[in-house]
Amino acid sequence: MRRKRGVEQVTGSTKTSIDVLLAENVETLGSQGDVVRVKPGFARNFLLPQGLATIASEQNKFMVKKHRERLEQLEVDRARNYKKLAEQISKYSVTIEANANPDGHLYGSIVDSDISKKLTEAGYDVEPEHIKLVGPLKELGMYTVKVELHPKARSEVKVWVVPATSTAAS
């Protein structure tokens, strides 16, 4: 506070807080698109100059609302596409050839990337992180493997691990 001619004056804003619209995720405040109430100095000295926030005007709030609606629609479409893919995958079975000893134990192991590769070769866009194996497959046989393409799109695929055919001519 300063004194000027016997009157006390407060420097800075007289508001105790202002609303800002977050342009980026800020760990201590919220996520992108949130309207948060902060102290004017924090907004003026940190959030606004760093490009982390903008003033929460009605136009900015409207634009964020429209953007969120578009993102929600895209997410609904994405989930719908993943559900279709999950349904198709459930009707498909993967056959993987592997070298094994006479007891049926594999010399190596079959992991999620092997299954993903076979599904991709068959025309299904499945990433290794979508395959949910409890552990690597180490024996010949038929396995039912869970596939989680999206939280709302889960499926299972049958994986046949068969002995590799010998290509050596006698």
pLDDT (tens digit, 9 = 90+) per residue, 49-99?
999 999 888 898 898 889 889 989 999 999 999 999 999 999 999 999 999
CATH dotted code for 13-82: 3.40.5.10
Is 119 within 8 Å of 49 (Cβ atoms)? no
**Mean pLDDT score of the chain, rounded to an integer?**
86
- Sequence ranges of the chain with CATH classification 3.10.430.100: 92-163
Residue 1, pLDDT score? 42
* Region 35-47 average pLDDT: 91
- Looking at residue 44, the DSSP 8-state letter turns out to be I
Closest CA to 18 of 4, 47, 30, 10: 47
Give the residue range(s) of CATH 3.40.5.10 domains in the chain: 13-82
Closest by CA position to 137, among listed 102, 100, 167, 170: 100
Structure confidence at residue 117 (pLDDT): 94
Instruction: Quote the pTM value.
Output: 0.63
Class of domain 92-163: alpha beta
b/e map 122-134, b = 16+ CB within 10 Å = eebebeeebbebe
